[in-house]
Structure 1
């Protein structure tokens, strides 16, 4: 028997911006079922982005969406066994996996930083990703670089 999962049609946008992407991110940010805490952290991070004058002409939600778009990988390597040997084969990443990898890398980068409140760390990492720098963006670049290095094994991707 398969697991029961919530469908995309069931999901609602977040309360402030009515954004499905923000709602999904809040759900991924949430720990131990504490959704209001996750919402407070997310909205405080967006308020912090708005407070800083680094991107004055952009709304904070647009900065968030652009940052996620910058982190999404378009190609990744997958391990494939061929004749007793394992090869790292570059493959295209579908849209839902791109989003989940971007969320995972962003939250991993934020949670690895210590000593500051979560909303400040999240705001820093979102601004860094918006400017195409930071830990999460570096992870994406390393993934693309590894896929490019293993281009010779692309013919194993069937």
Structure 2
């Protein structure tokens, strides 16, 4: 049997920035189908980023996009059972999957922060990712280190 190719999901642009990537991010941020709440959290985070940035000439949306780009992993490790042991095999990630991983990682690390509201947590995590520091970047680098350590097994991928 051959694998069925997944259809690419089409997203409509968001109401404020008219960007498809924002809608995609908000869909990952959304819980229990509350899309308006997710949009409110995202837009409040963008306003908070406008207040946080000191001497940056970029807009909050550009800071968010660059923070996402900085948190995109290039490789991941997949487990494979070989001869009674599990081997971590490094595998390159497709560009669409990179973006999804970055979005999920950014949201997960934002939830773990200690600020008051989710908008503040998200704003500070996005700004930290933009400045290439924080938990998101740390996790991305750990993933890259693990792939680097197991690159001897890279010939097992198929």
Q: Do they fold alike, i.e. is TM over 0.5?
A: yes
Q: Partners in 1 of 2:106 and 2:61 — Cα distance?
A: 16
Moved more, 99-108 or 70-79: 99-108
- Runs (4+) of structure 1 exceeding 2 A deviation are 5-9, 52-56, 82-85
1:49-60 matched pairs, under 5 angstroms: 49-60=49-60
Cα RMSD over matched residues?
1.6
Count matched residues. 153
Equivalent in the alignment of 1:31: 31
Equivalent in the alignment of 1:8: 9
- Provide the secondary structure at the position in 2 that maps to 1:88: strand
Structure 1 residues 74, 7: CA separation in 2 closer, same or farther (over 3 Å shift)? closer
Equivalent in the alignment of 1:117: 117
Conserved 8 A contact 2:109-2:136: yes
Conserved 8 A contact 2:115-2:121: no
Moved more, 108-117 or 141-150: 108-117
Q: Partners in 1 of 2:55 and 2:88 — Cα distance?
A: 39
Q: What TM-score do you get using the length of structure 1 for normalisation? A: 0.90
Equivalent in the alignment of 2:40: 40
- Provide the secondary structure at the position in 1 that maps to 2:12: coil
Structure 1 residues 114, 94: CA separation in 2 closer, same or farther (over 3 Å shift)? same
1:1-158 matched pairs, under 5 angstroms: 7-9=8-10, 11-158=11-158
Q: CA deviation at 1:19?
A: 1.0
